[in-house]
Structure 1
Amino acid sequence: MAGSGIKEKLGVEEITRGIWKALLAEFLGNLLLNFYGCASCVGAEDNGKSPVLVSLTFGLVIMAIVQSVGHVSGAHVNPAVTCGMLVTGNISILKALLYVAVQCLGAVAGTGVLKALTPLESQKKLGITLLSDGVTPIQGFGIEYFLGFVLVLVVFGVCDVNRSEVKGLAPVAIGLTIAMGHLAVLDYTGSSMNPARTLGSAIITGIWENHWVYWLGPILGGISAALIYKHAFAAVPREITTEYTPVQVQVQNKEELCHA
């Protein structure tokens, strides 16, 4: 009995049941994120570094990814989101580890493809996120913490199975949150919001300056938001609420459409 309980918590049966489609979706999602998102950074450097160009590109590509593969893997496409799902019991330990691994591999592949397709004179830093002049590592950590916090808070809000009014809005809401984060603090930290996204560019460029900021910040922010939402903001199940709701939600599982 104890052994079966441990296996259930680890998610052994879930892994052996066939998880390759979900892993492929997470890999492809991060590949596309780093290819298109970092491509906009290269283009922005060549055109005066327009924050609007970069912000809209990252927001739109996330919206496209969540819309297309959300039903397959939940479209986490971000270790911060996966860690938030893990601490709230929405994903097993082994599945979370595999998700983070393929997210990182996908990000590396995306930046690698971008480098191969970009003229040498335009490659520059290939979208690497760096602290701006005057921004200390602690300040950068704080910025990335709140970026991860707001992203995961929105993800949990739109994925709440008891909130029928947000049905179908997940891709747009998550994409706009990504765009908002970039518009707000792109000039502070490069607005990573996603450890895998930064890792992909770091591995391809070999630039690792203050890399820890882009892991600890979003992940701790995401975990904080996930716990707060679960224990304070989660919607009351429909069958025991007296509030009127105009739309009935049908969900396949509790991880449905959970990204970024």
Structure 2
Amino acid sequence: MGKLNSCSDIIGAQELTSLGLYKALAAEFIGTLLLVLVGCGSCLGVTNTTRIALTFGLTVATIAQAIGHVSGCHINPAVTLGMLMARCTSVVRAVLYIIFQCIGAITGAALLYGLVPSSFVGSLGNTGLNSAVSGGQGFGIEFFITFVLVLTVFGACDDRRSDVKGSVPLAIGLSITACHLFAVPLTGSSMNPARSFGPAVMMGDDYWNDHRVYWFGPMLGGAVAGLVYSYGFKSSGEDHSFSPSGTHRIIGESSTPRP
């Protein structure tokens, strides 16, 4: 998936007639559902930062390997916004992705609530600020850890790079693991508004405190990372410029118009 240049492609209304879009929406729904079910499940019972970090990182890597060719495996509104800001996805697709990601997160949280014993439920893996962390600090932490994630997505999917070889899903998953190891004790390390939204919907009023941090921080971090990589870090040279096909591997969809 390359950059969209024409106004009609950027808006993307024509995609509503594409079967590929609806397959992608189903993949985003299922992928985010599984992320919340498995990832938030690791937060229940025993609080262990390493366990949580590894679970979220490996879960994202696994899901990316499974559905990356279908939807690009965004499974995160912040990633989707980063792609939109870089003109790698249309407005229509981005809006629908975010809606289905949030629905998938709610469904995953509901399944987790129903599948585990009540004594394990607790906060259902809800994110919350450490009592020593202010709202501004929480915003900054969530901004930067999401910036790391989305920058990694762009860099790992740039297939005109010849300097680094390896697994794209694993690279993305490891960025999530690293940021969780840092931020879990501070903010719960959301990096993903949908991941925080689903459990908050299920658990009710007591879990909406500081929820805006988990939208504004990650969404702005993702948007800035998309702009920085796409307009600042990509090379103008033929051998190293940002590659549409590389983006398609994880964050694209074959039916998306190419410039």
1:187, distance to aligned residue in structure 2 (A): 0.5
Name the CA shift for 1:239/1:217 in 2 (closer, same or farther; >3 Å). Answer: closer
Name the CA shift for 1:178/1:239 in 2 (closer, same or farther; >3 Å). Answer: closer
1:258 maps to 2:257? no
CA contact (8 A) 1:67 1:171 kept: yes
Aligned counterpart, 2:66: 68
Name the CA shift for 1:178/1:6 in 2 (closer, same or farther; >3 Å). Answer: same
CA contact (8 A) 1:162 1:237 kept: no
CA contact (8 A) 2:109 2:124 kept: yes
1:80, distance to aligned residue in structure 2 (A): 0.4
1:170, distance to aligned residue in structure 2 (A): 1.1
Aligned counterpart, 2:16: 15
Ranked by relative contact order (alpha carbons within 8 Å, sequence separation 6 or more), the top structure is 2
Task: Report the 3-state secondary structure (helix = DSSP H, G, I; strand = E; otherwise coil) of the residue aligned with 1:125.
Answer: coil
Q: Structure 2 length as normaliser, TM-score?
A: 0.88
Letter in 1 for 2:22: W
CA contact (8 A) 1:162 1:236 kept: no
Q: Structure 1 length as normaliser, TM-score?
A: 0.88
1:251, distance to aligned residue in structure 2 (A): 7.0
1:164, distance to aligned residue in structure 2 (A): 4.5
Post-superposition Cα deviations, 1:194-235, rounded to whole Å, max 9, x if no partner, equal: 000000010011120100000000110111111111122114
CA contact (8 A) 1:73 1:256 kept: no
1:10, distance to aligned residue in structure 2 (A): 1.2
The answer for unaligned runs of 5 or more in structure 2 is 1-5, 253-259
1:172, distance to aligned residue in structure 2 (A): 0.6
Name the CA shift for 1:102/1:167 in 2 (closer, same or farther; >3 Å). Answer: farther
Name the CA shift for 1:251/1:167 in 2 (closer, same or farther; >3 Å). Answer: farther
The answer for unaligned runs of 5 or more in structure 1 is 242-249
Post-superposition Cα deviations, 1:15-40, rounded to whole Å, max 9, x if no partner, equal: 21221110111111100100000110
Q: How large is the RMSD of aligned CA atoms in angstroms?
A: 1.9
Task: Report the 3-state secondary structure (helix = DSSP H, G, I; strand = E; otherwise coil) of the residue aligned with 2:43.
Answer: helix
Give the Cα separation in 2 of the matches to 1:61 and 1:239. 33
Give the Cα separation in 2 of the matches to 1:196 and 1:112. 13
Letter in 2 for 1:218: P
Aligned counterpart, 2:108: 110
